[in-house]
Amino acid sequence: MALIVQKFGGTSVGSIERIEQVADKVKKFRESGDDLVVVLSAMSGETNRLIDLAKQITEKPEPRELDVIVSTGEQVTIALLTMALMKRGVPAVSYTGNQVRILTDSAHNKARILQIDDQKIRADLKAGRVVVVAGFQGVDEQGNITTLGRGGSDTTGVALAAALKADECQIYTDVDGVYTTDPRVVPHARRLEKITFEEMLEMASLGSKVLQIRSVEFAGKYNVPLRVLHSFKEGPGTLITIDEEESMEQPIISGIAFNRDEAKLTIRGVPDTPGVAFKILGPISASNIEVDMIVQNVSHDNTTDFTFTVHRNEYDNALSVLQKTANEIGAREVIGDTKIAKVSIVGVGMRSHAGVASRMFEALAKESINIQMISTSEIKVSVVIEEKYLELAVRALHTAFELDAPVRQSE
Amino acid sequence: MALIVQKFGGTSVGSIERIEQVADKVKKFRESGDDLVVVLSAMSGETNRLIDLAKQITEKPEPRELDVIVSTGEQVTIALLTMALMKRGVPAVSYTGNQVRILTDSAHNKARILQIDDQKIRADLKAGRVVVVAGFQGVDEQGNITTLGRGGSDTTGVALAAALKADECQIYTDVDGVYTTDPRVVPHARRLEKITFEEMLEMASLGSKVLQIRSVEFAGKYNVPLRVLHSFKEGPGTLITIDEEESMEQPIISGIAFNRDEAKLTIRGVPDTPGVAFKILGPISASNIEVDMIVQNVSHDNTTDFTFTVHRNEYDNALSVLQKTANEIGAREVIGDTKIAKVSIVGVGMRSHAGVASRMFEALAKESINIQMISTSEIKVSVVIEEKYLELAVRALHTAFELDAPVRQSE
């Protein structure tokens, strides 16, 4: 008999009908004999409605009071699901973050979980009850209601699974797993049976928005097996777990991530003196602009070119900061480009395989796609290309790394 | 410097605009130097919306879970008002029933307050904060969220005032006080400056729906001065307080209450034996039908007539129960009438004045209104009359007991 934590997001509990469906699903699981803790988000749209109410009072709501309001969203869904379970003859009980007690720090609207009291939950599980817990919320040492910030329900699920030493934390969502790449771009993309935490982190941060990064980090840290599943379709989903040594046969590349959210800025003819990188990036970071890729080429004639990418929303902002810097340090010019895309190959397998990068570049060259920037980490290679080639690049790489499904998946 | 508890109902916080108005009002009070604890209901309609959500899952929602849902209504308004106060530069903090801690028994949906911890509130008041408390809710010994049942926010206000030994509990509502009778029936009805708890109880239970009976009882028991005021109009309202001995000049009658919610049932020709009243009313009460007035006439020929009133909604139900009883005990017949009204004169002054009842009967006789039933208590005389004479009777009594305002009140 296993102990499973199941987390259902806002879309999965977005209406009474959906909540009834979740209840059916939970009941079926319960009947198979597993102990179940269910973590819920607010009904989709509800959190925004509540924030909007607060914003009607003031543009900058008091963070403590905002948490008092926003936390009501999950409080409603946990009670509704518990009622739906009891209607089906499944003993169940609901707990708010405060009731559990999920102790957090006092950073309202973005609190971090410090400790979870598992006493009540264990007693209820022992008594044969399904325990339904409000995600996204907790309570601080002083008894103030806190929230973990957007997507925090995943974190609640993982943290509960860690505290209870659960066998698995299942995240139910609107996709049936993690794919080798976005099926909208590559129709024969494959669902992965398994992926490592590290790979998932790279996939997630690169735009596969299946799971919150924070919850994956958390799961990795406490080694909680995570499984992504579809809320209303059957299927094994994708298991996210540690890198098991025995997996000799695992493919070199697990997936291909991409995004078109970035813009590129280059400052040219920078005098190549020590500390110049800081002189350039210091003002950018002081303006609260996050930088992603950074590339500096080797210098010639004692000057160098320095290129980095930022989120497209920050492009204008970054450009004006950079132009000021260019004047100060006597750089030749500043150029920028918003029509770029980033494509990355991700896989723990590349650690032990040489030639992964060259195979990537070869595949892109075959399609005459010019590479503008390159950046590598232990389990990923990212390139920046012209935006219009994005789909072509992803498809070419998907084929080159043998990720295509033998038979097309039915949707 | 006084300590005042102010309670605003659902209509007073029914929209963002209304909440802003309440914030203006509270700010003004605060500036006058008083310490303030503000108790709020949910936005009007919100509690029903939440109950409706639960009812969509199941006709009989689990009481514990229903409280989890319903208590979110006040949680939203307390945070919104607190934000609105802070926007105005008024330091404030919100507390749920659990956070205060308002300890109740575990009777979900109709819990009773056992104890209030005043520690946090006192500390906040001392620090110069307005304390905004969720009405209608509490927490039981095990940490389960409870609600006090409909109208429970008044009770929260009074209980807090009692626990804090407040100088006054102000109930803000949509009327500007307690009137000698319903101004819709008697346009020159007067607002009472003052009324005793006992009188208010009689007025409330007889259909003046200004205050919840339970909160008046509570206020009387702990001798908390209660004041009924209009949420958005200026004015002193009506003070509900203990009967002060010195009030020699108080009018004999404070007000005239009435209702048309009742129906009358008579069982005739009942063998007049001991225990017959129980034989008649036992089955009625076993059917959960509440009985209001009961009159039994003196017997003749060893049979008697037995008459009582019930709520009109229960009339059909009561009639069929009574008919069964009539067969069993060999009564002659059962008759009933739904077209009745009850009119009562209420006043602590009548204790020391003879002839109040006869003055009432005289006034009714003058208008040729036939009295069907009479029932008296120490501070009230009630009569049942034909419904169509109700307005006429109320106006006649209002004049006979010199309650008419000298000059018509402006609305």
Mind giving me the DSSP string for A138-161? EE-TTS-EEE--TTHHHHHHHHHH
Q: Residue A256: which of A210, A206, A195 has the closest Cα?
A: A206
Q: Which residue has the tokens 């799971």?
A: A211
Answer whether A68 sits within 8 Å of B79, measured CB to CB.
Answer: yes
User: Cα separation of A79 and A93, whole Å?
Assistant: 8
Give φ, ψ of B101 to 5 degrees.
-105, 120
Q: Which of B16, B61, B66 sits opposite A56 (nearest CB)?
A: B16
The minimum CA-CA distance between A235 and chain B, rounded to whole Å, is: 27
Q: Chain B neighbours among A 142-161 (CB < 8 Å)?
A: 143-145
Q: Which of A62, A69, A75 sits opposite B68 (nearest CB)?
A: A75
Q: Residue B94: which of B137, B143, B139, B39 has the closest Cα?
A: B39
pLDDT in tens, chain B (411 residues): 899 999 999 999 999 999 999 999 999 999 999 999 999 999 999 999 999 999 999 999 999 999 999 999 999 999 999 999 999 999 999 999 999 999 999 999 999 999 999 999 999 999 999 999 999 999 999 999 999 976 689 999 999 999 999 999 999 988 889 999 988 889 989 999 999 998 888 887 655 567 778 888 889 999 999 999 999 899 999 999 986 654 555 678 899 999 898 999 999 999 888 788 888 989 998 888 988 888 887 777 788 888 999 999 999 999 999 999 999 999 999 999 999 999 999 998 887 777 888 899 999 999 999 999 988 888 889 999 999 999 999 999 999 999 987 754 444
User: Cα separation of A75 and A168, whole Å?
Assistant: 24
Contacts of B80 in chain A (CB under 8 A): 53-54, 57, 65, 69
User: Cα separation of B17 and B164, whole Å?
Assistant: 30
Is residue B386 helix, strand or coil?
A: strand
Q: Are A38 and A130 in contact (CB under 8 A)?
A: yes
Q: Which residue has the tokens 């707990």?
A: A95
Q: Does B79 touch chain A (CB under 8 A)?
A: yes
List Cβ neighbours of B250 (8 Å cut-off, separation of 6 or more).
B348, B349
User: Cα separation of A154 and B63, whole Å?
Assistant: 29
| Predicted local distance difference test score (pLDDT) of residue B36 | 98
Q: Does A331 touch chain B (CB under 8 A)?
A: no
If you write DSSP's letter for every residue of A200-240 in order, what string do you get?
HHHHHHTT-TTS-HHHHHHHHHTT--EEEEESSS-S--EEE
Q: Does B71 touch chain A (CB under 8 A)?
A: yes
User: Cα separation of B192 and B198, whole Å?
Assistant: 14
| Predicted local distance difference test score (pLDDT) of residue A250 | 63
What are the distances in angstroms from CA B318 to CA A258, B284, B285, B308?
74, 6, 10, 10
Answer whether A83 sits within 8 Å of B61, measured CB to CB.
Answer: yes
If you write DSSP's letter for every residue of A105-129 in order, what string do you get?
-S-TTS--EEEE--HHHHHHHHTTP
| Predicted local distance difference test score (pLDDT) of residue A350 | 83
Q: Exposure of B290 by Cβ count < 10 A (0-12 exposed, 13-18 middle, 19+ buried)?
A: exposed
Answer whether B82 sits within 8 Å of A96, measured CB to CB.
Answer: no
DSSP tag of B132:
E
Helix count (H) and strand count (E) of chain A? 13, 20
**Starting at the edge strand that comes first in sequence, how are the strands of the sheet with B113-116 ordered?**
B113-116, B102-104, B137-139, B145-147
Answer whether A53 sits within 8 Å of B71, measured CB to CB.
Answer: no
User: Cα separation of A382 and A172, whole Å?
Assistant: 29
User: Cα separation of A189 and A403, whole Å?
Assistant: 7
Contacts of B64 in chain A (CB under 8 A): 93
Overall residue count recorded for chain B in this entry: 411
| Predicted local distance difference test score (pLDDT) of residue B409 | 44
Answer whether A76 sits within 8 Å of B71, measured CB to CB.
Answer: no
Q: Are strands A340-346 and A380-386 parallel, antiparallel or unpaired?
A: antiparallel
Q: Which of B62, B77, B108, B133 to mutate to test the interface with A (most CBs of A within 10 A)?
A: B62
Q: Does B99 touch chain A (CB under 8 A)?
A: yes
What residues in chain A have per-residue pLDDT under 70?
A: 150-151, 205-209, 243-250, 407-411
The minimum CA-CA distance between B146 and chain A, rounded to whole Å, is: 13
User: Cα separation of B254 and B195, whole Å?
Assistant: 7
Q: Does B123 touch chain A (CB under 8 A)?
A: no
| Predicted local distance difference test score (pLDDT) of residue A273 | 81
Contacts of B143 in chain A (CB under 8 A): 99
Answer whether A87 sits within 8 Å of B58, measured CB to CB.
Answer: yes
| Predicted local distance difference test score (pLDDT) of residue A302 | 83
Q: Does the interface ipTM go beyond 0.90? A: no
Q: Which of A20, A68, A87 sits opposite B75 (nearest CB)?
A: A68
The minimum CA-CA distance between A60 and chain B, rounded to whole Å, is: 9
Is the pTM value of this prediction over 0.90? no
Q: Does A79 touch chain B (CB under 8 A)?
A: yes
Answer whether A86 sits within 8 Å of B99, measured CB to CB.
Answer: no
Q: Does B167 touch chain A (CB under 8 A)?
A: no
User: Cα separation of A351 and A359, whole Å?
Assistant: 14
Dihedral (CA of A83, A79, A218, A211) sign: positive
Q: How many other C-beta atoms are found inside a 10 Å radius of the C-beta of residue A338?
A: 14
Take residue B158 and report the two structure tokens written for it: 């009074």
